[in-house]
Amino acid sequence: MSKQKEELEHRLKLRNIKLSDYDDIREIMVSIYKNQGGAWTKEELKNQLKAFPEGQIAIEDNGKVVAAAMSLVVDYNKFGDNHTYDQITGFGKFDTHDMEGDTLYGTDVFVHTDYRGMRLGRRLYDVRKELCENLNLRSIIAGGRIPGYTNYADEMTPRKYIDLVKNKEIFDSVLSFQLANEFHVRKVITKYLPSDTDSRAYATLLEWINIYYEKDEKLIGNKKSIVRLGLVQWKMRRFSNVDDLMQQVEFFVDTVSGYKSDFCLLPEFFNAPLLAEFNDMDASEAIRNLADYTDEIISRMSDLAVSYNVNIVAGSMPEYDGKKLRNVSYLCRRDGTQDKQYKLHITPDEASYWGLQGGNGINVFDTDAGRIGILICYDVEFPELGRILAEQEMDIMFVPFWTDTKNAFLRVNTCAKSRAIENECYVAITGSVGNLPKVENMDIQYSQAAIYSPSDFSFPHDAVVAMASENEETIIVADVDLDLLTKQRKAGSVRNLEQRRLDLYSIQWKQKK
């Protein structure tokens, strides 16, 4: 390699700043901040490194510092939004640094003019975010200059200028870069840097939220990140009584628990084989008699949840109170508590054949493995319900279903995948297979259990986490990462929840829960 070529080759290295870097840093600062006070003194840099060496970051090229980012940790409540640069940095000495604080405060980012266009600033912002996450700090806050404002100050307010920069009608060399790096403007600050004449002493108060921040980190009992789902694709077979039915249920709960699953999902009307006992009755009378078993089944299901240490979404069963026949799914938590979700939308066949009626409420349920919602079969075909659950910060939607034909299954399946993508959540679905030749209206079954996710770089490209074989009795067990949902909602390629036009439309729940 020729000497000339060797001199032109970049060797970039990211590292913490050392006091011996002062001359390189001063050279950059004098060039960039000649109208804002120039460079720090060597003594100021020494104090900054002494206060918080981990927060002072440089990029060197062939041994020379060509870019740097400076920061400190503060208890932000001590300063509030109306601070100045000198107040929050202790006049550059960083004696305001507090490792018990909750905020990483960015004081400076600068790049040598010869290295513009190499996106070194983006690298520095990324490493700052990494530092914020690793220190478990709530956010990064910074006061941002708006140097381009000097060209518009006579015709518009700073707020109007900022709005136009946000909308890309105006380019600002500092603010446009910060917005592109996922910072948002909280407010406009006055007299932040009185010497900054280009910004007319105004500044933007910028914030980047650490979505992984844990306010009170505990040694045990923290919210799970990786959650294991177990789905039972259930074969309809003849059972002579509830004991036979529960023996088969326990087999699957035991199997799923053996894989250390956090949830076990059963299908809609998994107890339908017991209808054979009432074949001599009218269909509407038979299903009301089937409802008599629901309390016993749920009691025994709850015991299984505790015994096998797994949260059970107990498919669905009929419930009859003497006036209304409804379809209900029980959540049997492994701590012994229960909740239930009624099916809201009743198919024409269910209404005419059995006289089923829909419930009137919908909820997100807290568990030790995330916040979940339950939509029974037909309900998943109504996108409003999924969005209402998503607005309550649901992580996983469970969809127990019963379908007889492939086209009926595909309606449920296609809509379930859509709910996962549009609501940035996981959706787990399962149904039953096989046949019940002597049970009216439950003759044949079609199912292909699956777990769906959003479709972005952190997830499977086809949004399929796991999928069972068609029409075979089986289980699928798969892990889902709840932290990836948090990342998706704040930093995904598209952000369906965050970017809704709530100024134009909204979904309103009319009934009181």
Q: Any catalytic annotation for residue 415?
A: no
Q: DSSP 3-state assignment of 50?
A: helix
Determine which one of 132, 264, 332, 377 is catalytic: 377
Please report how the helices 242-258 and 294-307 are oriented relative to each other, as an axis angle in degrees rounded to 10: 30
What is d(CA 454, CA 427) in angstroms, rounded to the nearest whole number?
A: 9
Query: How far is Cα of residue 494 from the mean position of the Cα atoms in its chain?
Result: 13
Residuewise pLDDT in 10s, the chain (513 residues): 444 444 458 889 999 999 999 999 999 999 888 766 678 899 999 999 999 999 999 999 999 999 999 999 999 988 888 888 999 999 889 999 999 999 999 999 999 989 988 889 999 999 999 999 999 999 999 998 898 999 999 999 999 999 999 999 999 989 999 999 889 999 998 888 888 888 888 999 999 999 888 876 555 566 788 999 999 999 998 888 999 999 999 999 999 999 999 999 999 999 999 888 888 888 889 999 999 999 999 999 999 999 999 999 999 999 999 889 999 999 999 999 999 999 999 999 999 989 999 999 999 999 999 999 999 999 999 999 999 999 999 999 999 999 999 999 999 999 999 999 999 999 999 999 988 877 766 778 899 999 999 999 999 999 999 999 999 999 999 999 998 998 888 778 888 988 899 989 999 888 765
Q: Using CB atoms within 10 A of its CB, is residue 280 exposed (0-12), middle (13-18) or buried (19+)?
A: exposed
Our CA dihedral for 127, 132, 136, 138, rounded to 10 degrees, sits at: -150
Choose the catalytic residue: 207, 268, 381, 424.
268
Out of 60, 132, 235, 343, the active site residue is 343
For the chain, list the domains and their CATH numbers.
Answer: 12-209 (3.40.630.30), 226-491 (3.60.110.10)
Q: Is 377 a catalytic residue?
A: yes
| 58, 15 contact by CB (below 8 A) | yes
E strands in 376-510: 396-400, 426-430, 432-434, 450-452, 464-467, 474-481
Question: What distance in Å separates the CA atoms of residue 283 and residue 269, rounded to the nearest whole number?
Answer: 15
d(CA 492, CA 490): 6
Token pair 């339908």 is found at 272
pTM score, two decimals? 0.74
Secondary structure letter of residue 435 according to DSSP: B
CA distances, 506 to each of 387, 391, 406, 494 (Å)? 10, 11, 34, 19
CA separation (Å) from 332 to 262, 303, 442, 507? 12, 9, 26, 29
